[in-house]
């Protein structure tokens, strides 16, 4: 019953999630923009202040160190990723700082994040900030504002890929804890892991450590939106361009829609005509879609949208990513 109630809150009211699995590294210094432009896979130089873009940091051989969200502020860049990747990322990136005026600052212990999503999310945050709801409803995807919520300085980032509006709120650990309590007092429910996974997969957000790891190339991992083919060189670019020009990878993270059956566990084999053609990485039942949705690595020749596959005896159909929102 908890799943149904929490999911309904996300679709009709407001649902909050603990996002302490996220962490931030800040980049300061006069050369921060040019340095990150030469390190990361996406074009950070074209970012306007208070906007963000997905990106990745690669090894020299084009494998993932981490995927991340880059946010540009007036005097620094904020690089948000999975908490377990933050320190390896900072150490790896710091090795490339030679004569540049760049300082990489870990915020593992000084920041914490939670999210609130649903039709009432902006109203709750606007009430706490004492601002018009339109100030938040007008934020485009990955745009953010620095606000004061009842005396607590926060960063609020709009995430527009979910089925209903989502805002990520970052503050000091104590401030985030207190604000989350105030959000719940104003009618939001606190969501559990099952609903959080369902919402994540619906929104087509692969997660490092679950759907992606250091063995993957960005084009395998479905991180096309994190890549720019117009900017200059960056670490690992040679391998990305070579694969893109060759026209394919041997496997690719794909979406699956399963019309019946239970959620397949991670590692479940995917078959076509009796041949194994992939493996599931994560899955969840989506009430809005009315089916089980899954991420899976599918071999070349079998990932075209509409391709019929089987997972544990259940029929599965390859879906484009992002998953098309249900009408």
Please give the Cα distance from 94 to 53 (Å, whole number).
21
pLDDT of 270 over the 70 cut: yes
Third-level CATH fold of 1-204: Gyrase A; domain 2 (3.30.1360)
User: Coil, strand or helix: which one is 270?
Assistant: strand
Q: Write the pLDDT tens digit of every residue in 70-108.
A: 999 999 999 999 999 999 999 999 999 999 999 999 999
Name the strand (E) or helix (H) holding 310: strand 308-311
| Domain span(s) for CATH 3.30.1360.120 in the chain | 1-204
pTM: 0.96
Q: Write the pLDDT tens digit of every residue in 216-264.
A: 999 999 999 999 999 989 999 999 999 888 767 999 999 999 987 789 9
Q: Write the pLDDT tens digit of every residue in 163-216.
A: 999 999 999 999 999 999 999 999 999 999 999 999 999 999 999 999 999 999
Write down the pLDDT at residue 1: 63
Third-level CATH fold of 224-319: Elongation Factor Tu (Ef-tu); domain 3 (2.40.30)
| Domain span(s) for CATH 2.40.30.110 in the chain | 224-319
Mean pLDDT of the chain: 96
Please give the Cα distance from 201 to 204 (Å, whole number).
5
Reference 148, options 126, 170, 129, 121; nearest CA is 129
């Amino acid at each position: 019953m908890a799943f149904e109630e929490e999911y309904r809150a996300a679709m009709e009211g407001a649902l909050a999630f603990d996002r302490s699995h996220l962490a931030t590294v800040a980049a300061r210094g006069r050369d921060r923009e040019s340095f990150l432009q030469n390190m990361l896979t996406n074009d950070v130089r074209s970012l306007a202040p208070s906007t963000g873009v997905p990106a990745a940091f690669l090894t020299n051989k084009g494998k993932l160190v981490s995927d991340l969200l880059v946010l540009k502020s007036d005097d620094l860049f904020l690089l948000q990723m999975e908490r377990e990747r933050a320190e390896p990322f900072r150490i790896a990136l710091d090795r490339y700082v030679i004569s540049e005026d760049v300082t990489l600052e870990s915020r593992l212990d000084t920041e914490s994040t939670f999210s609130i999503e649903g039709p009432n999310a902006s109203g709750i945050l606007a009430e706490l900030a004492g601002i018009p709801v339109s100030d938040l409803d007008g934020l485009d995807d990955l745009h953010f504002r620095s606000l004061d919520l009842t005396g607590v300085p926060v960063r609020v980032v709009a995430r527009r890929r979910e089925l209903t509006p989502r805002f990520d709120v970052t503050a000091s650990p104590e401030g985030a804890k207190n604000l989350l309590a105030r959000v719940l007092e104003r009618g939001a429910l606190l969501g559990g892991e099952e609903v959080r996974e369902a919402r994540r997969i619906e929104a087509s957000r692969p997660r490092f450590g679950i759907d992606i790891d250091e063995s993957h190339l960005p084009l395998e991992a479905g991180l096309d939106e994190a890549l720019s083919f117009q900017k200059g060189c960056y670490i690992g670019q040679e391998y990305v361009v070579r694969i893109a020009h060759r026209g394919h990878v041997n496997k690719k993270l794909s979406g699956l829609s399963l019309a019946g059956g239970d959620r397949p566990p991670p590692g479940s084999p995917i078959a076509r005509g009796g041949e194994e053609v992939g493996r599931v990485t994560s899955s969840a039942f989506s009430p809005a879609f009315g089916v089980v949705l899954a991420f899976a690595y599918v071999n070349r020749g079998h990932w075209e949208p509409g391709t019929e596959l089987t997972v544990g005896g259940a029929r599965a159909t390859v879906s484009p990513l992002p998953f098309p929102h249900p009408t």
